[in-house]
């Protein structure tokens, strides 16, 4: 197969928090894989910056261990050494003055400059200020920030304002790693590059939409952060919201950053407030050796949700009357992320009642086994009249695309390369994040005001019973988590 990898221009990438968990698990392995793929320029410079007193050699050792542990397939010592040769390290005090002159000496003004804030949001302001104060960031420098982008609307606004003191919006890359997933982008291709779906993509033909992001892992290890966030802030405000936007948005005129983000923003702004009885919160209970949520976060009285299901409406011409059901949780039966578009029944059944009710469903699996399935109704084979059955037209992308899928970069790989290319299409704009919080805040305030306590559900199940009821009341059913 012909390689479609387009090398990016030479760059300096500084990773603040370069020794931290995200850098070790995601950023360094992602950069290594892009290096192996031939996308990294030979003279790129990757500079780790953190408080720990390391030198270049020490940082290379840390990076080597991280890549061996989290980098997936290895390509031999020689290539790993060549990659590690691109790494430098600066010991730096984010809130003080030490280390900044040393960092400045390393940065080459004639290269693309990117600064990855892989640190808590509390440090964003200090970093942004010093990058300018020391004259390190040039006028076209880019900064990359991670979620959580704020805890609510007020804090997100404050963060945006802090960054805006030193950087223009066109320089700020807010990561939601779901947007870097191959199949998430495929949603746009499926919708806007095929004539087949778009005419049916509205409330006249779509009965409802289900978005499920189910995980089998618990919150162990991240309890302190998670217990302050909960599933609503950790997953719905960002990842599920982005999926909903891509499913619901109008076709942008071009696949360009602001055209796409303008359309997503309109969707978020069109979201109605969620009625209290359309929300179900859950918390996993102990099952056998698997500890409960409360044990994981070490708080016997925690009322944070590890599961949430809700029904919402996008109130515009296209979607009025079509509910969107969102569901996400930890310690569920299986790891599956899926969007399902359930179409309405055919308007008139010529085959009589005994043929039963059938509807078409388009399901798009983000992980695992990325692919699409279209459920269609056909005649059951054989004699005996016109009996109907539903069969899947199944397309697993890995099978359909054969060896081409080996080239598919993971979310962080793609997103970091997009930063270097200066393409913001797959990053969240400040107003988008704020609009998402503006929708999320009253939902959370509502259950806090009511003193709502999440319903327990067994680890390994599909969530609390009440979540099933949310659908049953509407005469609908969740798709199975499997």
The catalytic site residues sit at: 239
Least separation in angstroms between CB 215 and ligand BG6: 5
Query: Would you count residue 146 as binding ligand BG6 (CB under 6 A)?
Result: no
Distance (Å) of CA 273 to CA 313, 363, 442: 8, 26, 8
Closest CB to ligand BG6 among residues 83, 397: 397
Q: Is the separation of the CB atoms in 232 and 306 below 8 Å?
A: no
Q: How many CB atoms lie within 10 A of CB 325?
A: 23
Least separation in angstroms between CB 225 and ligand BG6: 8
Least separation in angstroms between CB 231 and ligand BG6: 8
Compose the 330-359 pattern: x for residues touching ligand BG6 by CB under 6 A, - for all others: -------x----------------------
Query: Would you count residue 296 as binding ligand BG6 (CB under 6 A)?
Result: no
Least separation in angstroms between CB 173 and ligand BG6: 16
* Alpha-carbon span 112 to 142, nearest angstrom: 8
Compose the 386-425 pattern: x for residues touching ligand BG6 by CB under 6 A, - for all others: ----------------------------------------
Least separation in angstroms between CB 77 and ligand BG6: 30
Site for ligand BG6 in 298-337 (CB under 6 A): 337
Least separation in angstroms between CB 148 and ligand BG6: 8
Contacts of 225 (CB under 8 A, 6+ apart): none
Closest CB to ligand BG6 among residues 94, 229: 229
Query: Would you count residue 234 as binding ligand BG6 (CB under 6 A)?
Result: yes
Closest CB to ligand BG6 among residues 129, 295: 295
Closest-by-Cβ residue to ligand BG6 is 234
Query: Would you count residue 215 as binding ligand BG6 (CB under 6 A)?
Result: yes
Contacts of 157 (CB under 8 A, 6+ apart): 150, 434
Q: How many residues bind ligand BG6 (CB under 6 A)?
A: 3
Nearest to 212 by CA among 366, 426, 395, 440: 366
Contacts of 338 (CB under 8 A, 6+ apart): 210, 211, 212, 363, 364, 365, 366, 479
Closest CB to ligand BG6 among residues 38, 368: 368
Nearest to 326 by CA among 310, 305, 313: 310
Distance (Å) of CA 445 to CA 270, 320, 437, 440: 20, 26, 12, 9
Q: Is the separation of the CB atoms in 100 and 61 below 8 Å?
A: no
Nearest to 482 by CA among 181, 214, 209: 214
* Alpha-carbon span 282 to 456, nearest angstrom: 6
Angle in degrees, CA 77, 83, 87, rounded to 5: 130
* Alpha-carbon span 398 to 403, nearest angstrom: 8
Closest CB to ligand BG6 among residues 234, 413: 234
Least separation in angstroms between CB 252 and ligand BG6: 25
* Alpha-carbon span 172 to 294, nearest angstrom: 37
Closest CB to ligand BG6 among residues 83, 173: 173
Closest CB to ligand BG6 among residues 22, 355: 22
Query: Would you count residue 432 as binding ligand BG6 (CB under 6 A)?
Result: no
111: three-class secondary structure by DSSP: coil
Burial class (CB in 10 A: 0-12, 13-18, 19+), 194: exposed
Interacting residues with ligand BG6 (CB under 6 A) = 215, 234, 337
């Amino acid at each position: 197969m012909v390689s479609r990898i387009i090398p990016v221009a030479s760059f300096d990438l500084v990773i603040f928090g370069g020794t931290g968990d995200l850098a070790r698990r995601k950023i360094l392995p992602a950069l290594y894989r892009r290096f192996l793929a031939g996308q990294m320029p030979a003279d790129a410079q990757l500079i780790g910056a953190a408080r720990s007193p390391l030198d270049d050699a020490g940082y290379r050792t840390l990076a080597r261990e991280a890549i061996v542990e989290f980098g997936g397939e290895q390509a031999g010592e020689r290539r790993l050494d060549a990659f590690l040769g691109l790494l430098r390290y600066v010991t730096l005090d984010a809130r003080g003055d030490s280390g900044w002159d040393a960092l400045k000496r390393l940065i080459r003004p004639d290269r693309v400059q990117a600064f990855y804030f892989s640190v808590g949001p509390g440090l964003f302001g200090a970093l942004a200020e010093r990058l300018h104060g020391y004259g390190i960031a040039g006028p076209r420098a880019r900064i990359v920030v991670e979620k959580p982008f704020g805890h609510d609307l007020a804090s997100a606004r404050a963060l945006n304002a802090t960054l805006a003191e030193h950087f223009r919006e066109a320089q700020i890359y807010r990561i939601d790693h779901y947007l870097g997933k191959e199949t998430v982008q495929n949603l746009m291709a499926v919708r806007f590059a095929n004539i087949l779906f778009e005419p049916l993509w509205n409330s006249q033909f779509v009965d409802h939409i289900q978005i499920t992001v189910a995980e089998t892992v618990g919150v162990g290890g991240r309890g302190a952060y998670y217990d302050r966030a909960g599933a609503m802030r950790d997953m719905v405000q960002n990842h599920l919201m982005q999926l909903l936007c891509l499913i619901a948005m109008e076709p942008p005129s071009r696949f360009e950053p602001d055209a796409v983000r303008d359309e997503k923003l309109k969707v978020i702004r069109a979201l109605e407030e969620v009625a209290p009885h359309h929300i179900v919160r859950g918390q996993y209970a102990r099952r056998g050796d698997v500890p409960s949520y409360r044990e994981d976060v070490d708080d016997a009285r925690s009322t944070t949700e590890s599961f949430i299901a809700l029904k919402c409406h996008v109130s515009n011409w296209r979607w009025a009357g079509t509910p969107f059901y969102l569901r996400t949780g930890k310690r569920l039966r299986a790891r599956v992320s899926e969007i399902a578009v359930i179409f309405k029944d055919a308007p008139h059944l010529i085959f009589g009642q005994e043929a039963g009710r059938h509807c078409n469903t388009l399901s798009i699996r983000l992980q695992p086994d990325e692919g699409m399935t279209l459920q269609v109704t056909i005649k059951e084979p054989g004699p005996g009249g016109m009996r109907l059955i539903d069969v899947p037209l199944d397309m697993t992308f890995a099978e359909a695309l054969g060896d081409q899928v080996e080239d598919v970069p993971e979310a962080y790989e793609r997103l970091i390369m997009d930063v270097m290319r200066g393409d913001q299409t797959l990053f969240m704009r400040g107003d988008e994040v704020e609009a998402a919080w503006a929708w999320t805040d009253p939902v959370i305030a509502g259950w806090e005001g009511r003193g709502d306590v999440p319903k327990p559900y067994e680890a390994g199940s599909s969530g609390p019973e009440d979540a099933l009821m949310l659908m049953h009341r509407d005469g609908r059913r969740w798709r199975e988590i499997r």
